[in-house]
Structure 1
């Protein structure tokens, strides 16, 4: 791979890559207009927008690993000012994202200058769910949140759920365009995947009374791996500057060249992504059918309509309450 000219970094795409000399694979994500549209649509306060943008970059980067059709969801529930983040990625190429926050808690956090991702999320959990269409292919990994960043939570997820040594870098910010400031997010993940399982992982904890002749590998770094190739790859990734993930003139290919030119990185076909909501009138009606009659009655507005606004795309659906009840009765 050669270092190309700074002709501009394509936005809203994920670039898979591999570095065979180091036995690592990874992905680079760049989100631009699609992310800006999501955040502008909701008018989130800047700290909330920043955290949601980080989550979107992480979810899109991981979601594009799905083969064929499927769904990847990243969701947090916590006690901080930002009580919930949800990012849905629908393979092969579309995503949506939303956040819930408490305005009073957020104002207090801003006054106290406690606006890191860990501060805003607080304590709770992060769940990553893979659903490829059947119970047999549905999987969920859960990580406890206790004031750490989404990068750190991602490391914990792969260490605990996938047992793949991984390093994640995320960057979020805004750039000046002809139309004003626009949100951008970038991310990179690198994972150690050698052919030899003995190199993949050492024991995190002593297994106790191991069978006679069983070799117990000594733990190395915090991934439990002691391997020169992984140490080199991890160290290179940790040199990435925040602005390198956001620079609209720095192509993903060129960023990889900066990191791995001495080893040689192979890039694969990029995946172009876009934002799109899965909501529809039929889906919303199906949701209403799951509510009790009293709950549906409480949702009726002063003008007599039963209205629902999608939390992802802000589209509003209005129904005649009598027609909703009649359809529910007909399907009973």
Structure 2
């Protein structure tokens, strides 16, 4: 019998490799990602994209040191023109995708993320509440994967050497296939700022023949990055392989230290009160136009598919 560890799913495990001055996080998602993907019955290509975005949001969102919201959102011209993942600190995540079924059907079943998404952008937004200004970083999507877009963000906006590996796939659990996902992120955070220097980004207007500014990568970072790059998809998805075991495989020669694991849960922010409040923001004419043949306003949450029936009088629509 396979020795699985369901109690270790839907957790994020922070770790550090002190000899390499590297820190990171690893996550293995089981029931959480399966509920999100199965609820919407996404086609497999779309499900994998959503799963990748959920993993990335969990890796980044759980690193926040304050209560608030972290959101990943793509807007592109491809068959999958929108992906949204909300992470509400400290532990709640929800997600959905919007896609054109006809255009999706014209693509191969194993179409790459670039083919599915097309061109557009990935936005990373941190919202600490009404008393604080929002932060937003934008990365152009021009044919790269979600992983590569994340690397581009850290290079351009945070200037922190970062390597991320993400995997999403289906496994057989009893009589049905279930979705699993996993990811690992490592960052080079030396105590000396000089060791973290990177080459300047191309200015775009350098004269022809100008010599590019080159900074050799730190040997410690090269080692940490190279080790994470060896992680294979099946290692991130295998329910019999614990996160601690995988980290030991990667860093046992240097020594890896793990910290307290953090649980993440799939939960939507929607509620009847929020729906009513949202409807009241529309004009009276718009609210009247929403009333259906049954005399009520019907709203379905895009994230969790919960359907709400609102009486027109609740939002100020008179008979």
Which residue matches 2:261?
270
Which residue matches 2:136?
140
Runs of 4 or more above 4 Å deviation: none
Provide the rounded CA distance (Å) in 1 between the counterparts of 2:4 and 2:201: 49
Which residue matches 1:176?
172
How far residue 163 of structure 1 moved from its aligned partner, in angstroms, is 0.9
Provide the rounded CA distance (Å) in 1 between the counterparts of 2:113 and 2:220: 31
How far residue 268 of structure 1 moved from its aligned partner, in angstroms, is 0.4
- Give the 3 Å change call, closer, same or farther, for CA 256–291 of structure 1 in structure 2: same
Q: 2:126 aligns with which of 127, 130, 143?
A: 130
Give aligned pairs, total: 307
Cα RMSD, aligned residues only? 1.8
Q: 1:35 aligns with which of 33, 36, 40?
A: 33
Provide the rounded CA distance (Å) in 2 between the counterparts of 1:24 and 1:251: 21
Equivalent position SS for 1:49: helix
Which residue matches 1:283?
274
- Give the 3 Å change call, closer, same or farther, for CA 107–139 of structure 1 in structure 2: same
Which residue matches 1:11?
9
Provide the rounded CA distance (Å) in 2 between the counterparts of 1:293 and 1:323: 12
TM-score, length-scaled by structure 2 = 0.92
Kindly indicate whether residue 163 of structure 2 is the aligned counterpart of residue 167 of structure 1.
Answer: yes
Task: Check conservation: 2:62, 2:90, Cα contact below 8 A.
Answer: yes
- Give the 3 Å change call, closer, same or farther, for CA 293–160 of structure 1 in structure 2: same
Which residue matches 1:212?
none
Provide the rounded CA distance (Å) in 2 between the counterparts of 1:233 and 1:68: 28
TM-score, length-scaled by structure 1 = 0.88
How far residue 137 of structure 1 moved from its aligned partner, in angstroms, is 5.4
Kindly indicate whether residue 74 of structure 2 is the aligned counterpart of residue 76 of structure 1.
Answer: yes
Structure 1: gaps of 5 or more residues: 1-5, 208-215, 221-225, 328-332
Task: Check conservation: 1:86, 1:97, Cα contact below 8 A.
Answer: yes
Which residue matches 2:48?
50
Q: Deviations over 1:46-84 (max 9, x none)?
A: 111110011001101110001131111111111111111
